[in-house]
Amino acid sequence: MLILSVRTLVLYLVIVGGLRLMGKRQLGELQPSELVVTILISNLATLPIEETSVPLLGGVGPILLLVCFEVVISWISLKSRRARRLISGQPVTVVQHGKIVEDRLRDLRFSLDDLMEELRQNGIFDIRDVEFAVVETNGKLSVYQRYGARPITPDMLGMECPKNECPPPTMVISDGELLKGSLAACGLQPKWLEKQLHRHGLTVEEVFLMVCDRNAAYFLLPKEKTGKKAVDKK
């Protein structure tokens, strides 16, 4: 039993390390080659755990080989458009100028139900609102709506960007822990934070959540045990 636990731990560390090496893309939408690698890794990892007659290196070796191979293939496809097309395929336009391209849908074995489902997931319930729809290499549908159906943007209304417009707020205190990097990113000093907390009779340890932006506007949520209310300073 102990040997199984140790082997499982080693394999866990190898797979986590491997996925970290493959990068964040692996955790989101998968390209075909990435999907293959993920399936193979999960199968390879179970072998040395299930069967103690299989040496640990028999699992670790192929996993590392697949991970490294995937990184090299990703690099090649990053450098070469041709390789990228060969490995990941290319996006296919299935709705062009508001018309469904039936041949392409058939080629992709994408039924009308699939198309409608993907459109609904994009928040579009009427096919007439679609100007272009593209099936991406990861199988997701990207939609470009016709002019009349697009959401109104400030640009359409000719509105100018407000002067105090700034990046979204960032978390500066998380469960009683000060995130110094985030505070610096907001262009604020620890002294300013101390002053604000002091005003509300709080310490860093008593704050559950505090988000702040570059205009020094913040939202402060004290821990329940303090019995204090949330503060929203615009």
Partner 1 sequence: MKRLTIAVLILVLLVAANLYTHSLLDKTGTDMLQRVEELEQLTQSTHTADLEKACQRLLQQWVTTEQTWSRFLRSDRLEAITIQTARLPSLAHHGQTAEVAAGLCEIRILLQEVLAFESPSFSDVFS
- Sites of contact with partner 1 (CB under 8 A): 21-23, 52-55, 57-58, 61, 64-65, 67-69, 71-72, 75
Minimal distance in Å, beta carbon 57 to partner 1? 5
Under 8 Å CB-to-CB from 92, ≥6 apart: which residues? 104, 107, 108, 134, 135
Angle at 42 between CA 41 and CA 47, to 5 degrees: 95
Indicate the residue among 69 and 144 with the shorter CB distance to partner 1: 69
Please report how many Cα atoms fall inside a 13 Å half-sphere around the Cα of residue 32, on the Cβ side: 12
Minimal distance in Å, beta carbon 208 to partner 1? 36
Minimal distance in Å, beta carbon 70 to partner 1? 8
DSSP 128: G
Letter string b/e over residues 6-35, b meaning 16 or more CB atoms within 10 A of that residue's CB = ebeeebeebbeebbeebeeebeeebbeebe
Indicate the residue among 64 and 134 with the shorter CB distance to partner 1: 64
For residues 7 and 49, the answer to whether their CB atoms sit within 8 Å is: yes
Distance in angstroms (rounded) separating the CA atoms of residues 43 and 218 = 48
Indicate the residue among 48 and 222 with the shorter CB distance to partner 1: 48
Indicate the residue among 17 and 91 with the shorter CB distance to partner 1: 17
Indicate the residue among 12 and 69 with the shorter CB distance to partner 1: 69
Token pair recorded at residue 135: 């099936």
Minimal distance in Å, beta carbon 65 to partner 1? 6
Minimal distance in Å, beta carbon 81 to partner 1? 18
Helices (H), the chain: 2-22, 32-50, 56-79, 81-88, 102-107, 112-121, 180-185, 190-199
Token pair recorded at residue 43: 């199968």
Minimal distance in Å, beta carbon 75 to partner 1? 5
Indicate the residue among 67 and 188 with the shorter CB distance to partner 1: 67
